[in-house]
């Protein structure tokens, strides 16, 4: 079993933690292994571009883990993140980086064909403002794809109270008070013309066992499930 990565003493959900963990991003069996699994699952919800060069905006892109899974789909991949050290890595993987806050995207209205918000909504302190921005930059007919953590007791127990005791898992990445109720998220999206449909998701048992043993997990590590109690995915199109 791997030891937990060493990080400084920072408040929960402090983005400076990602600078301290900058060397972990592209280790498929490292501290961000689950983010690799989620990126693969998220990409499966993104169809090939209708026209070559369609714009995909990846909000909270980190070091660009989504990029390899979009290869051949025909998008211009723009990544938005607060952490410069992560964006520098994203650039080397073909992502055009934008250093910005999710609540103030430096993009014009209705410019994106696809907006992706993967594992970012449970980190934002202004959920309504962030959702408004995701929907604002999405063109009519465009697709919103997201995944996040549910605001349930079982989610807090698994992700924080138990999850942070697992070997290799960084402490303090999440603030459980920011986890997102899917009903609230669906209503916020509807205010801005996006009809969001959600479904549960979970890692496979084989992936978890491989991770705990310090090995790279097999492909297709995140699968759909009926329960949205912990992790869920969302997909919806913006109405005209």
Specify the pairing of strand 112-118 against strand 96-99: unpaired
Q: What is the pLDDT at residue 9?
A: 77
In a domain, 12, yes or no: no
In a domain, 10, yes or no: no
DSSP letter at 42 equals: H
Per-residue pLDDT of the chain (240 residues; tens, 9 = 90+): 455 554 557 899 999 999 999 999 999 888 898 999 999 999 999 999 999 999 999 999 999 999 999 999 999 999 999 999 999 999 999 999 999 999 999 999 999 999 999 999 999 999 999 999 999 999 999 999 999 999 999 999 999 999 898 877 899 999 999 999 999 999 999 999 999 999 999 999 887 777 767 666 656 789 999 999 999 999 999 998
Q: What is the pLDDT at residue 166?
A: 81
Asked if 141 contacts 95 with a C-beta cutoff of 8 angstroms, the reply is no
Angle (CA) 89-166-119 rounded to 5° is 45
Q: Which residues pair with 115 in a beta bridge?
A: 57, 144
DSSP letter at 52 equals: T
Q: What is the pLDDT at residue 168?
A: 78
Q: What is the pLDDT at residue 144?
A: 99
Q: What is the pLDDT at residue 1?
A: 47
Asked if 46 contacts 116 with a C-beta cutoff of 8 angstroms, the reply is yes
* Count of domains for the chain: 1
In a domain, 184, yes or no: yes
In a domain, 232, yes or no: yes
In a domain, 139, yes or no: yes
Domain of 224, CATH number, reads 3.40.50.150
In a domain, 209, yes or no: yes
Domain with 60, as residue range(s), is: 17-238
Q: What is the pLDDT at residue 167?
A: 78
Q: What is the pLDDT at residue 28?
A: 81
In a domain, 215, yes or no: yes
Q: Which residues pair with 225 in a beta bridge?
A: 200
Quote the pTM value.
0.93
In a domain, 1, yes or no: no
Strand order in the sheet with 112-118: 96-99, 75-81, 54-59, 112-118, 138-149, 231-238, 194-203, 222-225
Asked if 123 contacts 213 with a C-beta cutoff of 8 angstroms, the reply is no
């Amino acid at each position: 079993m791997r030891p937990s990565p060493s990080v400084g003493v920072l408040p929960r959900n402090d983005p400076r933690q990602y600078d301290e963990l900058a060397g972990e991003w592209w280790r498929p069996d490292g501290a961000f292994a689950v983010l690799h699994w989620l990126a693969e699952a998220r990409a499966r919800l993104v169809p090939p571009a209708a026209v070559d060069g369609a714009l995909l905006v990846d909000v909270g892109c980190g070091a660009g883990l989504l990029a390899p899974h979009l290869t051949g789909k025909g998008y211009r991949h723009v990544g938005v993140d607060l952490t410069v050290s992560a964006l520098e890595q994203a650039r080397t993987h073909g992502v055009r980086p934008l250093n910005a806050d999710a609540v103030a995207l430096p993009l014009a209205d209705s410019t994106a064909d696809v907006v992706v918000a993967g594992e970012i909504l449970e980190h934002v302190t202004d959920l309504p403002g962030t959702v408004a921005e995701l929907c604002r930059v999405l063109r009519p007919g465009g697709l919103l794809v997201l995944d996040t953590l549910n605001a349930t007791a079982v989610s807090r127990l698994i992700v924080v109270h138990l999850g942070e005791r697992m070997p290799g898992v960084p402490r303090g990445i999440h603030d459980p008070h920011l986890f997102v109720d899917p009903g609230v998220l669906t209503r916020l999206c509807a205010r801005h013309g996006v009809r969001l449909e959600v479904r549960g998701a979970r890692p496979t048992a084989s992936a978890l066992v491989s991770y705990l043993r310090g090995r790279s997990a097999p492909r297709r590590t995140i699968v759909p499930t009926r329960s949205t109690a912990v992790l869920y995915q969302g997909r919806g199109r913006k109405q005209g």
